[in-house]
Structure 1
């Protein structure tokens, strides 16, 4: 691969990473009660933001796992032994297992 292509790919990946980091910061700093009020009024962006805030810990865990996998796959790993153990972790599912949510009809109490 020529150096210009490598540079462009690196720049695109850095910009993409910056976008997602900014989105994480926005969700962490969001005023949740204000978002919930706007979502109740029917604001689609607020509904999406509230859903993002609910899943924030899962998103951060997945991002952390992806970063760990990327570091372990880099050619400048500190030692082969630590890289091998990290790679084993990276082959498993990066997101934690979650119990399925009950359906809305099951969540309602019979009257």
Structure 2
């Protein structure tokens, strides 16, 4: 359970930042160097290295250094565990929203009935 929880924490922490989500979106289309990513997002090289490091620790990005250039690409992390976790909570919330829809429909029906009696 601890390994599972640590992985979820790392993934969701990595995805919690808008810049890191943007980096993933960019890398989904094409690999890029850290310098290119820093330029695209208007950041310092050090700042982008930190973002890429967080993504790399979560398994969402891999990097390879050739000479002085570190190239980033989408990692092999498949996100099955994360999707399963989200799915369980989605089922709970779907059931709650369905129940709320029923209450709202009932209240509307009662309101209509009261409107006819006036």
Higher relative CO (Cα under 8 Å, sequence separation at least 6) belongs to 2
Q: Between Structure 1 and Structure 2, which shows a larger proportion of strand residues?
A: 2
TM-score by length of 1: 0.28
TM-score by length of 2: 0.26
